[in-house]
């Protein structure tokens, strides 16, 4: 199986303040994982997302303000989120990395992509940067695909809920947003009751999980909710907000996953999409060895999805069982 690895030098020029966890070394850790996965890797340099591609998901006031802020020297945007002069270019190329992967897959160069870029994106709202994120990379890619007539499923396994991604597509019937995240936790969104609105009702699926949740519950969530929903939505593409901060060794996440759990989750994604038309985006994850090991496991699992198939675990799990009455209103989860 061929994988397209998309990077850009500007990801390393988005220089973090001293001690900030979202640092340039994260990119190298992810690249090392992709190269260790055993897949045949084709390297590509990200193109910049165009202004029009960015404006599909962000308003012009945000784009213009962020550009001007960076050109004037940058600084702290909020207590967590920063920018330096090169951050504007880093953000444009990070937003274009998914587009580069999609174009490569569409052109037959690979069947799966990994965008090892920063800054991350899933907290960025239509009109607001936040949570280490400047532009919403996965949303730019999803909107690009929808504009071309595709149905898109976004799976977000970052430990934090992707509030920006959810809100951008909250009314869209063409984008499924499915998030597994710690709750209560930053940014305080991602309630099970948030299921979309208007034509998008049902196309938002939130799986909030308590502090300390480990792999057994995540696997049950994929068996009983994620994989059935993906199968029923029948997407043309799957985009994964691949945060690795739910790993047990992560300094911020407070959850209990190990690299093999990411292998299992990626295998479920691979089965649902037929092991093609998938791009993984680096989101969170702040322990470098955990990023490397989990990235490698992600691509290994996607490649070996059929071999890793197992019978769904129907055992009781309060963290999952409490979600089923609401989600079953929109999906067949028997």
Catalytic residues, which ones?
123
182 torsion bin: left (phi>0), alpha (psi -120 to 50), beta (else): beta
Number of H helices, E strands in the chain: 12, 10
Q: Are 99 and 142 in contact (CB under 8 A)?
A: no
Q: Are 142 and 236 in contact (CB under 8 A)?
A: no
* Spatial separation of the C-alpha atoms in residues 113 and 2, rounded to whole Å: 9
Which position has the token pair 């947003």?
A: 177
Integer angstrom CA distances of residue 330 from 5, 158, 233 = 36, 24, 11
* Spatial separation of the C-alpha atoms in residues 135 and 154, rounded to whole Å: 16
Q: What is the dihedral of CA 294, 297, 302, 307, to 10 degrees?
A: -150
Give Cα 134 distance to the centre of its chain. 15
Helix, strand or coil for residue 146? helix
Q: Are 241 and 279 in contact (CB under 8 A)?
A: no
Backbone phi, psi, residue 226, to 5°: -65, -55
């Amino acid at each position: 199986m061929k994988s397209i690895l998309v990077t850009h030098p500007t990801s390393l020029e988005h220089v973090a303040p001293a001690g900030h966890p979202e640092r340039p070394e994260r990119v190298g850790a992810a690249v090392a994982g992709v190269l260790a996965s055993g897949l045949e890797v084709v390297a590509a340099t990200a193109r910049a997302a165009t202004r029009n591609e960015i404006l599909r998901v962000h308003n012009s006031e945000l784009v213009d303000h962020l550009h001007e802020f960076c050109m004037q020297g940058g600084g702290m945007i909020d207590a967590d989120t920063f920018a330096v002069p090169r951050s504007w270019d880093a953000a444009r190329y990070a937003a274009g990395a998914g587009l580069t992967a999609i174009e490569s897959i569409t052109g037959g160069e690979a069947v799966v992509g990994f965008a090892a870029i920063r800054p991350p994106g899933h907290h960025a709202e239509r009109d607001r940067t936040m949570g280490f994120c400047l532009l919403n990379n996965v949303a730019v890619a999803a909107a690009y695909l929808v504009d071309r007539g595709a149905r898109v499923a976004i799976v977000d396994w970052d430990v934090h809920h992707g509030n920006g991604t959810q809100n951008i597509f909250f009314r869209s019937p063409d984008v499924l947003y499915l998030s597994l995240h710690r709750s209560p936790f930053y940014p305080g969104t991602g309630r099970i009751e948030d299921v979309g609105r208007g034509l998008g009702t049902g196309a938002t699926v939130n799986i909030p999980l308590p502090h300390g949740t480990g792999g057994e519950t995540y696997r049950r969530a994929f068996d009983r909710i994620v994989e059935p929903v993906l199968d029923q939505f029948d997407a043309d593409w799957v985009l994964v907000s691949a945060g690795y901060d739910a790993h047990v060794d992560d300094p911020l996440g407070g959850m209990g996953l190990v690299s093999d759990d990411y292998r299992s989750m990626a295998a479920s994604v691979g089965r649902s999409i037929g092991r093609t038309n998938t791009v993984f985006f680096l989101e969170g994850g702040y322990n470098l060895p955990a990023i490397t090991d989990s990235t490698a496991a992600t691509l290994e699992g996607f490649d070996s999805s059929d071999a890793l198939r197992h019978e769904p675990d129907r055992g009781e799990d309060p963290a999952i069982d409490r979600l089923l009455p609401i989600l079953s209103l929109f999906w067949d989860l028997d």
